[in-house]
Structure 1
Amino acid sequence: MHRRLALLSAVTLASGGTFLTTALPATASTAPPPAEEEAADTKAEQGDVLDYWTKSRMQNAQPLTVPAPKTGSNGQGEPGQPNTNSPWTAPPTDPQAAVSTGSQWTKGGAVAKTTGRVFFTYQGRNASCSGSAVTSANRSVVVTAGHCVKMGGEFHTNWVFVPGYDNGNRPYGTWVATKLITTPQWNAREDINFDIAAAVVAPQSGKRLQEVVGGQGIAFNQNRRQQMYSFGYPAASPYNGSKLIHCAGRAFDDFLLSRDHGLTCNMTGGSSGGPWFVNFNETSGSGTLNSVNSFKYNFAPNWMFGPYFGDEAQAVYKEAQNTDAT
């Protein structure tokens, strides 16, 4: 047991506020408590999970599919009406007019170590997502999408994070989750607006995740419509999950059925849970995590959407960093 410390479908995939480059102190939150599930929290269980994930199983894992936002799911106005929670800006271009093809990230830097593939078993089959190591008090936190830890009413099993995954190679090891945490909204009804999660991972050879790969900063309740960089390991065609892919551009507001950020990007299934950064530096590969890849609409394959990181995301992060990973 733990002690407390002081996409995608045919819809596919997928400055005020708190700004952090280091761990957030444990303080009270106005958000409802997050939902959590014990994962492999004994040495024996962790060994079994590590043995389970052979190179072949990882290569054959299929990207997870997340359901589309439902009509009226934005909670604003009448069913079928656009999100009026705040003024929105139209996307910078028509989604079919200027395709932003995700390209392989070749510049190295921190992002090449902190971003990785996520593997797990979902309803009896092996699946994949993406995730990012972030700075935290326990130096053991991975941030990803809600549907990458729980979907269909059940938390996933055999959950691991492989930072820096490169065509089957695991240069920084395989990190087994000891606890999975998501928002109460995703836990209760799989609300796409709160498709946010974190995992706490066990140490390897006496070292914690952040000591091996570093960690990106994380921010909450930030301004919208900023320049953002998105990263992930898309595994559905035309990608195969072997390389780190990225997109970049100015985010826009989803004016359809969610309150999410939008970005022109054609990454595919498997990139779910990959990080969206503000203030990203291409030279150092460092930025501040402010959303994750979540979903796409089937009629707009070149738009990708990610949840707004508000109080609920902050509560998930706090719960994760205040969990003892040992």
Structure 2
Amino acid sequence: MSPISRTTRAALGASVVALTMVVATACGPDNSDTTGAQTAAPTTAATTGATGTPGAAPIKLPSLDELKKWKYEDWETFAQQNVITPAVKGYWDLQKILKAKPSKPGQPTTQPSAPPTGTAPGQPTSQPPADGGNDPLPKMVEEKPVPHPFAKNFHVNGKLFFQDGKQEYVCSGTVVSDPANPGKSNLVWTASHCLHAGKGGKSHTNITFAPAFNSTGVLSGGKQAALAQAEPYGEWGAVAGIVSPTWANEADPEYGGAWSQYDFGIIKVANPDGSNKSLEEVVGGSVPVWFNAPRDQITAVSSYGYPAGKPFDGMELEHCDSGKPVRHTIDPSRPAMLTIGCNGTGGDSGGGWFATKDGKQVLVSDTSIGGNDNTWEAGPYLDDVAQHALEYISKKK
């Protein structure tokens, strides 16, 4: 089955707010420990990468082993090449949302059994598995809406709005715990394709997070309401962020490729009332991220997001309660993605995947790609690269 890029950038539809989003591709690292690689600071090269700062030379991506050993300064150099600019306060209103149109869906790609040539920045650190790192696809699970009004623990989920050029789109996101600021996180986890245009492109603009969107159901079933009624905590504009270097340097956002195995991103947001009260304090919680989670310990996954493609309309927080995720691999030199049965559509992209660790809810992935028959979804395996990205944006002032 070929993956379809849900970077179908679901734009906010023309019904009461048919906000659509897209699911791009991402693959996740495996559990193997790679050693012996030297830390390689980013270098510039005129022929690779994507720029975010006018006049800046694109960054040359090191091998995956080297990338896992990047220090804060390396991430800062990369971030300066892919700047996420502060969102314009008040940019999003209901009129803008209603006028937005969805872009065409991404095209399906084939699923190679060997590393595609020209896509991997480094050499495999171990012999690719004989099965190519793929398991049989899981049974489809139907998404179900979270009942209104949302219970407090669901308020960490929200819709993510962004602008790419002159077109508006939407994704999903999750409030995650900030290791440098426990109890006071302003960090939102999503997919790289919700933040950056990929190879040759640059960061999206006016990136804004609306936690607990439509939690009371005021926009459900075609009902009309003021946008403020659907946003109990307001709109938290991005002031900074970080995307996956692999995504920014390799990705064609219209297709699912090996870059999808690292399709994660994180933004830092600001309180819309101008106070220093954090997002975590306002919504009442955050979700820790479980990096390098042993696959045999991820026994069940629940994914959350706001799908907007038919039969969904983008107004409901939907979830798929799936069992143990299976492996989906595009490039065997990279960690296999986590894959679940789910009939989600565009708009789910970037939504959090939750598992249980020591009796507590943790985030283990985000929605990246899905089958063109909408029966399964895959998200990146979060390894050292993802962990260091979170540590970087956590420390960034």
With normalisation by structure 1, the TM-score equals 0.77
In the superposition, relative to structure 1, how do residues 255 and 29 fare at CA in structure 2: closer, same or farther (>3 Å)? Answer: closer
- The corresponding residue for 2:147 is 106
> How much does 1:90 deviate?
3.2
The reply on whether 1:172 has 2:237 as its aligned counterpart is no
Corresponding residue for residue 123 of structure 2: none
Distance in structure 2 (CA, Å) of the matches to 1:69 and 1:179 = 32
1:131–1:232 contact (8 Å) kept in structure 2: yes
Q: Does 1:57 pair with 2:96?
A: yes
> What is the alpha-carbon distance in structure 1 between the residues aligned to residue 268 and residue 329 of structure 2?
34
Checking the alignment, whether the CA contact within 8 Å between 1:229 and 1:280 is kept in structure 2 is no
Picking from 286, 297, 301, the partner of 2:371 is 297
**C-alpha spacing 1:232/1:274, structure 2 compared with 1 (3 Å):** same
> Residue in 2 aligned with 1:84?
129
AA aligned to 1:147 is H
Residue equivalent to 2:280: 210
Deviation at 1:159, TM superposition (A): 0.6
Count residues with an aligned counterpart.
Answer: 289
Relative distance call for 1:257 and 1:104 in structure 2 (3 A) is farther
Q: 1:304 to 1:29 in 2, by over 3 A?
A: closer
Conserved? CA contact 2:112–2:330, under 8 Å: no
AA aligned to 2:280 is Q
Q: Secondary structure at the match of 1:50?
A: coil
Identify which range, 58-67 or 258-267, moves more after superposition. 58-67
In structure 1, how many angstroms separate the alpha carbons of the residues matched to 2:102 and 2:187?
22
| Identity percentage of aligned residues | 28
The worse-fitting range, judged by mean Cα deviation, of 311-320 and 127-136 is: 311-320
User: 1:135 deviation in Å?
Assistant: 1.1
Aligned 8 A contact 1:134 1:142 in 2: yes
Distance 1:262 1:62 in 2: 29
Structure 1 residue identity aligned to 2:314: G
Counterparts in 2 of 1:117 and 1:252: CA distance versus 1, 3 Å: same
Instruction: Report which stretch shifted further, 84-93 or 271-280.
Output: 84-93
Q: Give matches, 1:103-142, under 5 Å.
A: 103-106=144-147, 108-136=150-178, 137-138=180-181, 139-142=185-188
Worse overlay, 201-210 or 311-320:
201-210
Please give the alpha-carbon distance, in whole angstroms, between the structure 1 residues aligned to 2:363 and 2:293. 11
- Relative distance call for 1:163 and 1:31 in structure 2 (3 A) is same
Is contact 1:61–1:128 with CA below 8 Å preserved after alignment?
no
User: Equivalents in 2 of 1:59, 1:257: separation in Å?
Assistant: 39
Paired residue for 2:260, among 192, 196, 199?
192
Q: CA deviation digits over 1:213-259, x for unaligned, max 9?
A: 12111110002252111000111111111110000112111155672
Show the counterpart of 2:211. Answer: 163
Specify the alignment match of 1:21 in structure 2: none
Q: CA deviation at 1:296?
A: 1.2
Q: Are 2:140 and 2:376, in contact at CA under 8 Å, matched by a contact in 1?
A: no
Change (3 A) 1:261 1:61: farther
Q: Does structure 1 conserve the Cα–Cα contact (< 8 Å) formed by 2:164 and 2:205?
A: yes
Matched AA of 1:291: S
The 3 A distance-change label for structure 1 pair 180 and 78 is closer
Q: Which runs of 5+ in 2 are unaligned?
A: 1-5, 10-21, 25-30, 33-66, 120-127, 220-226, 252-258
For the 8 Å contact 1:293–1:306, the answer to whether it is kept is yes
Match of 1:287 among 355, 361, 367: 361
Distance 2:282 2:369 in 1: 30
Counterpart amino acid of residue 191 in structure 2: A
Cα distance in 1, alignment partners of residues 232 and 309 from structure 2: 23
Tell me the residue number matched to 2:69. Answer: 30
1:70-129 deviation digits (Å, cap 9, x = unpaired): 6559738999xxx73888573475xxxx53111101284444211100001013100000
Query: Does the Cα contact within 8 Å between 1:88 and 1:252 map onto a contact in 2?
Result: no
Q: CA deviation at 1:40?
A: 4.1
Which 10-residue stretch deviates more, 156-165 or 131-140? 131-140
Q: Does 1:223 align with 2:268?
A: no
> Matches of 1:85 and 1:222 in 2, distance apart?
23
Give how far 1:210 is off. Answer: 1.2
Verify: 1:323 aligned to 2:396, yes or no.
yes
- Preserved CA contact (<8 Å) 1:40 1:176: no
Q: 1:199 to 1:91 in 2, by over 3 A?
A: same
The 2-side partners of 1:92 and 1:73 are apart by 15
Match of 1:254 in 2: 328
C-alpha distance in 2 between matches for 1:171 and 1:277: 23
Q: Secondary structure at the match of 1:220?
A: coil
* 1:179-234 alpha-carbon deviations (Å, 9 max, x no partner): 12112111110211110100011133311211111211111000225211100011
More strand by share: 1
TM-score, L = length of structure 2 = 0.65
Tell me: CA distance 1:77–1:156, structure 2 relative to 1, closer, same or farther (3 Å): closer
Q: Shift in Å at residue 262 of structure 1?
A: 0.4
Partners of 1:63 and 1:312 in 2: CA distance: 32
2:347 alignment partner in structure 1: 270
Amino acid at match of 2:95: S
Specify whether residues 317 and 62 from structure 1 end up closer, same or farther in structure 2 by C-alpha distance, changes over 3 A only: farther
Q: Which amino acid aligns with 2:267?
A: A
Q: Say which SS state the counterpart of residue 155 (structure 1) adopts.
A: coil
